[in-house]
Structure 1
Amino acid sequence: MSAPLAEAMKAPRNGWRVSEPPPPHGVSLPQSATIRRVVANNPGPMTGNGTNSWLVEHDDGCVVIDPGSTDPAHLDALVAAAGGRRITHVILTHTHHDHLDGARPLAARLGVPVCGFHASAEPEFTPDIGLHDGDAIAGLRVLYTPGHASDHICLETADGVILTGDHVMGWSTTMIPPAPYGSVRQFLASMQRLRERHARLLLPAHGPAITRVDDCIDGLVAHRRAREDSILALMPAVPRTLDEIVDSIYHNLRPGLRRAARLNLHAHLEKLAEDEKVVAQGECWMTAAP
């Protein structure tokens, strides 16, 4: 076994993970006195048990974060979960469709704006209120955290809770696509930024709440570093296509996850190319000459 791969295999792999029994869909699940969750009925390999739509109260009502599904039952459940409080905004952590799709239908029903990062990554969507890093909205602070998506934001409460969208999840690693949609380097920088916020609780868009904040962030970063080392250890000395490299690195990969694995690999190779550790030749990649 090569030295880089041996070191990668020493990295902690599963100590950061958290799981939960499948939660009911379309039911208001209290997280605290002011935060509730409604899980959309869209489970799958990339969404886990479904998209968490979060309702967070503020002085003038509450906001809905990542309404996700267009299912009328899910939108009805979000309105009911507000408990009579006025929903003032719909906020998106990013514009992937399992977060975005329910936003316009819910906002139109309520007559409220849809808010998201000002530079939308979805060509057919422009937020009614474009958010910038550091903005305050409905008692929440906007933290720009690109990596999983170029328009990804997290939302921080005044009492140390961060709603992390897909950037930090405790049940799974985050898929990182290649540029211009994502970036491993930006993802790692955004993780460091969240680490420095010293949050007491992370609430992701998929999976359960994360209470061991530092352990989870450190574990996810270690996973990325280990993945980078394993890619380097297994990179061919002659040009190979992405699909050939996927086959050599990922074993027993479920068919439904192959696309995500390919995108992740491509994103890692982009970073390694910037670091001058691998080189691209047309559609192929190989290790850089020593």
Structure 2
Amino acid sequence: MAFLTEPDPERGVALPVVPGISRIVANNPSLMTYHGTNTYLIEADDGFVVLDPGPDDDGHLKDVLTATRGQVSAILLSHTHSDHLGATAALKARTGAATYAFHLSADPAFLPDILLRDGDTVAGMTALHTPGHASDHLCFARPDGIVFSADHVMSWSSSIVSPPGGDMAAYVASLRLMLSRDDRLYLPGHGPPLPNPKPYVEDLLDHRLRREEAILRTLRDGPCTTWDLVDRLYSKTHPWLRRAAERNVVAHLLKLQTEGLVSPDGERCRTRERLSCSCED
């Protein structure tokens, strides 16, 4: 995969992306979040639409309030992972803006003011339900071909798909949904903008399918655990990255099990031909 990189962005300020859209990059860099979570500020007639308020961090909240002058007309959430959801309640309390998110929240503690379903329109954008990374994940598509792709498609890395909230079959289907569209620019939840996204999404899908075939080939040689598969198929050595790889393997195995190609056998799983690898934690 040819991922994109960018220099460490300036902190605490709204960085222009395209006319009418800027981002503030939260100061939560990590192996999982790149330089940090992108909070997008979208100009509207009655203030700003804030998409993904970011982590629960007083400094980041202050930066968002300063950049918008507190004039927030709506708060949109792509999904309820903490690095996107964390500042939502505080931003709502400070601005009175209504929150919009998928109608089936993956976080039982969060209930949006406005429940969105696939195809609903908000702030002139169409909500696209794109589960896979998270069951409640939404992308937001503008009529001008710009899509806020959040964590479904990121420019700097592929997405982790970690069951039970993550679902590899749903992720693959959501990638195919994006490929059926003709969008010109993705604005992801982490990392820089992604122009001409279709070839990149094709590569993401091909990467997942090739990984799936590699898992099946390995299992045809005999039973193995999820960690056996990580050791054989991944080169990652950092503990966090190995854990992320293991979660992706689990997601692949559950998809293959649903498709009748793999069966669990104690702590291992096997193909239907030879059967044995752990499809569960």
Give CA deviations for 1:158-189 in whole Å, capped at 9, x if unaligned: 2111001100011100001124x121111111
- Structure 2 length normalisation: TM-score? 0.92
Counterpart pick for 1:112 among 91, 97, 100: 97
Q: Which residue of 1 aligns with 2:37?
A: 51
Counterpart pick for 2:14 among 25, 28, 33: 28
CA apart distance, 1:243: 2.4
Q: Which residue of 2 aligns with 1:131?
A: 116
User: Is the Cα–Cα contact under 8 Å of residues 133 and 151 in structure 2 kept in the other structure?
Assistant: yes
CA distance in 2, matches of 1:85, 1:43: 25
Matched, 1:167 2:157: no
Q: Which residue of 2 aligns with 1:3?
A: none
Q: How does 1:142-153 map to 2 (within 5 A)?
A: 142-153=127-138
CA apart distance, 1:237: 4.8
Give CA deviations for 1:242-271 in whole Å, capped at 9, x if unaligned: 223322322342112122111100000111
CA apart distance, 1:50: 0.2
CA distance in 2, matches of 1:239, 1:196: 37
Counterpart pick for 1:60 among 46, 50, 60: 46
User: Is the Cα–Cα contact under 8 Å of residues 58 and 139 in structure 1 kept in the other structure?
Assistant: no
CA apart distance, 1:195: 1.8
User: Is the Cα–Cα contact under 8 Å of residues 100 and 116 in structure 2 kept in the other structure?
Assistant: yes
Note the residue ranges of structure 2 that are not aligned, 5 or more in a row.
Answer: 275-281
Please state whether the residue corresponding to 1:62 is helix, strand or coil: strand
Please state whether the residue corresponding to 1:55 is helix, strand or coil: strand
Counterpart pick for 2:23 among 26, 37, 46: 37
CA distance in 1, matches of 2:267, 2:122: 44
* Structure of greater relative contact order (alpha carbons < 8 Å, 6+ residues apart): 1
CA distance in 2, matches of 1:91, 1:32: 19
CA apart distance, 1:201: 0.5
Cα distance change on mapping 1:138 and 1:253 into 2, 3 Å: same
Counterpart pick for 1:265 among 249, 254, 264: 249
CA distance in 2, matches of 1:19, 1:251: 21
In the alignment, residue 226 of structure 2 is paired with which amino acid?
L
Give CA deviations for 1:7-34 in whole Å, capped at 9, x if unaligned: xxxxxx33xx211111122211001221
User: Is the Cα–Cα contact under 8 Å of residues 103 and 116 in structure 2 kept in the other structure?
Assistant: yes
Please state whether the residue corresponding to 1:235 is helix, strand or coil: helix
Q: Which residue of 2 aligns with 1:182?
A: 166
In the alignment, residue 231 of structure 1 is paired with which amino acid?
I
Q: Which residue of 2 aligns with 1:5?
A: none
Counterpart pick for 2:212 among 228, 233, 239: 228
CA distance in 2, matches of 1:28, 1:252: 34
User: Is the Cα–Cα contact under 8 Å of residues 36 and 81 in structure 1 kept in the other structure?
Assistant: no
User: Is the Cα–Cα contact under 8 Å of residues 56 and 83 in structure 2 kept in the other structure?
Assistant: no
Aligned length: 274
Q: Aligned-pair RMSD on alpha carbons?
A: 1.6
Q: Percent identity?
A: 43
- Structure 1 stretches (4+) deviating beyond 4 angstroms? none
CA distance in 1, matches of 2:267, 2:105: 28
